[in-house]
Amino acid sequence: MHKRTRSLKNRVGEQGGTLVEFAVVFMVFLTFLFGLLDFGRALYVYHFVSYAARDGTRFAIVRGAACTTFPTACPTKLDGSEVRGYLQAGVPPGVDPNALTVTTTWPGNNPGCTGPVNSPGCVVNVKVQYNFSFIIPFVPKLTSLMTSTSQMVISQ
């Protein structure tokens, strides 16, 4: 009987120890889980930015100076605001369309370019940027600038 009494006395001082250990381990687990989800979001946005640059370039190469077959009518001079509007209209859920920066340029100095810079044979560049903010708890606010550039030759 004496042994049993002594073991209970030793355990009395440790009653809250398990709860404290659980709280610490649970916080580490939640931080890891939220971090994993946040890096998944970052990968999702990175792929969207890459796709948006290619899609914006494709939008521009089929609407050059020789375009006549667009469903209603081709713009006489495609500018960067039309490419930006096209890309912002197709933003998936979870991506802020207002945080998307689209820069479209027509260098016009490649060998196949004759005439206006938006004529067939000329090059169009589309650069898409997105400032991604991580939301991992217990970590200072982190942001990452995601950038993708695409260049293609205008076809019509």
pLDDT score recorded for residue 130 = 95
- The amino acid at residue 90 is G
Share of the chain above pLDDT 90, in %: 31
pLDDT band at 128 (very low <50, low <70, confident <90, very high): very high
Percentage above 70 pLDDT, the chain? 83
> Could you tell me the residue ranges of all domains in the chain?
21-153
**Of 68, 52, 145, the residue nearest 104 (C-alpha):** 52
At 143, give phi and psi (nearest 5°).
-130, 150
| Separation of alpha carbons 81 and 56, rounded Å | 11
Token reading at 4: 């049993």
Across the chain, mean pLDDT equals: 83
Rounded to two decimals, what is the model's pTM?
0.76
- The string of pLDDT tens digits covering residues 1-19 is 555 555 555 555 566 788 8
Q: What's residue 147's pLDDT?
A: 96
Sheet holding 143-153: strands in order across? Answer: 100-105, 123-133, 143-153
pLDDT reading at 149 higher than 90 = yes
Bridge-based pairing of strands 143-153 and 100-105 is: unpaired
Map tokens 């948006």 to a residue: 52
Please name which of 41, 19, 151 lies closest in space to residue 96, comparing C-alpha atoms: 41
* pLDDT of the residue at 126: 95
Torsion sign (Cα): 104, 109, 113, 114: positive
40-93 pLDDT, tens digit each: 999 999 999 999 999 999 988 888 777 776 556 676 667 788 889 889 998 998
30: three-class secondary structure by DSSP? helix
Tokens encoding 123: 């090059």
